[in-house]
Amino acid sequence: MITPSPWSAMRIRPAQFDAGAWASLLAGEYSSIVIDELLSPTACASLIQAIRRHGMRKTLHGSNIESSHSGISVADYKDRSEAAYFADVPLAIEERQALLLGLPDPQTAAIELLGAAWPHGATVAGRYFSGVVRQLTKSTTHNDWTPRDFPNWIVGRINRSLSWHVYLSAPETGGEFCVWRRPWQEGDEEYQFADAALGYDESFLSAYPVAIEGCRVGRFVVFDTRNYHAFRAPLGATPCYVISSFLGIVAADRPMIFWS
C-alpha cells in the first residue's frame, strides 16, 4: 500500500491506477497522480510533427493559461455562451481529427486508464469537445471550479472538478507544474488580481505546502483543479507541448465525463 507523504504526487504505473488511487486523490492525500511514459517517446515525437504541420493559434483572453492551441476550451467562452461553444464544436472536432490522423490519440489512453478505475467508466461529455492541444508558455496561479465558473452549463452540474494532461515534449529547464494544498474557498476573491485574467496573488499561498513536478516526455498527470495550481514558464529552445482536458464526477453511479 502506498503511504501518503505530507504533500506530493502519487507515482504509479498504469496497472496500479485503481479505485484506491482515485479515493486517495479525491480525499486530498496527494497533489496529483503521475504516471511516467504513458505515451512512448516515439508516439510523442510523431504527435509533435503532426502539430507543427497542422499549426496552432493563440489562446483567447479568457484563459488562465498562456499558450497556443488546437481545439477549443470552455475558458475561451466564459464571457459568451454554451450555445456559442456548441456551435464551434464540430469544426474543432474536425480540426483535431485532421491533426491526429493515423496517430494514437492520447485522450483515448486517458479515458481508458481513468475509466477503468472508475466503477461506471468514463466518456466525453455529450456535445462537448475534449482533448485540447497546447504549446504552453506559462499560466497564472489559479484554480478551476466548474460549478462556480460555468453554473448554467451542463458541465456545471458536476460535484468534483479535475484535469489531466500528458507532456509530448519537455523544455531544457522550467515548465514545472505546481499544485498547492489549498483548495479554492468562498471569499478567496480578495486574493485575486483586479484583472481576473492575471489569476491570484501567489503570496497568500506561502503558508501552504506546494508540490512541484517537472516536465517529462510522455508523463501523465491528473489532479483536483479546485486546488490552486500553475505552470511555470518553459525555458530554452524546446517548446512544451501538452494534450489535456477537464474531467468531472457527476455522481458515484454515473460515468466520469471529459471536456475541454
- CATH code for position 123: 2.60.120.620
Element (H, E) at 224: strand 220-224
Question: Hey, is 34 helix, strand or coil?
Answer: strand
pLDDT at 61 (0 to 100):
43
CA 215 from chain centre, in angstroms, equals: 14
> Taking the CA of residue 78 as centre, how many other CA atoms within 13 Å lie in the half-sphere pointing to its CB?
18
Grid cell for residue 182? 489549498
∠ Cα 81 86 92 (to 5°): 125
∠ Cα 47 163 7 (to 5°): 115
pLDDT at 1 (0 to 100):
38
Question: Hey, is 256 helix, strand or coil?
Answer: strand
Q: What is the CB neighbour count within 10 angstroms for residue 19?
A: 11
- Is the residue at 51 inside a domain? yes
- Is the residue at 4 inside a domain? no
In this structure, are residues 95 and 71 in contact, taking their beta carbons and an 8 Å threshold? yes
- Is the residue at 171 inside a domain? yes
pLDDT at 91 (0 to 100):
92
Grid cell for residue 137? 508558455
pLDDT at 215 (0 to 100):
93
Q: What range does the domain containing 159 cover?
A: 10-259
pLDDT at 138 (0 to 100):
79
pLDDT at 40 (0 to 100):
95
pTM for the whole structure: 0.93
Amino acid at 239: P
Alpha-carbon gap, residue 22 to 50, rounded angstroms: 33
In this structure, are residues 230 and 180 in contact, taking their beta carbons and an 8 Å threshold? no
pLDDT at 57 (0 to 100):
67
Grid cell for residue 101? 490522423
Alpha-carbon gap, residue 193 to 165, rounded angstroms: 26
- Is the residue at 2 inside a domain? no
Alpha-carbon gap, residue 25 to 256, rounded angstroms: 15
**Total tally of structural domains belonging to the chain:** 1
- Is the residue at 5 inside a domain? no
pLDDT at 194 (0 to 100):
87
Q: What's the full length of the chain, in residues? A: 260
Alpha-carbon gap, residue 93 to 133, rounded angstroms: 12
Grid cell for residue 5? 507523504
- Is the residue at 247 inside a domain? yes
Mean pLDDT per block of 10 residues along the chain (260 residues) reads 69 96 96 96 94 74 57 90 96 91 92 96 96 87 96 96 96 94 96 88 96 96 98 91 95 95
Alpha-carbon gap, residue 18 to 28, rounded angstroms: 16
- Is the residue at 16 inside a domain? yes
Residue with cell 453511479: 253
pLDDT at 85 (0 to 100):
97
- Is the residue at 3 inside a domain? no
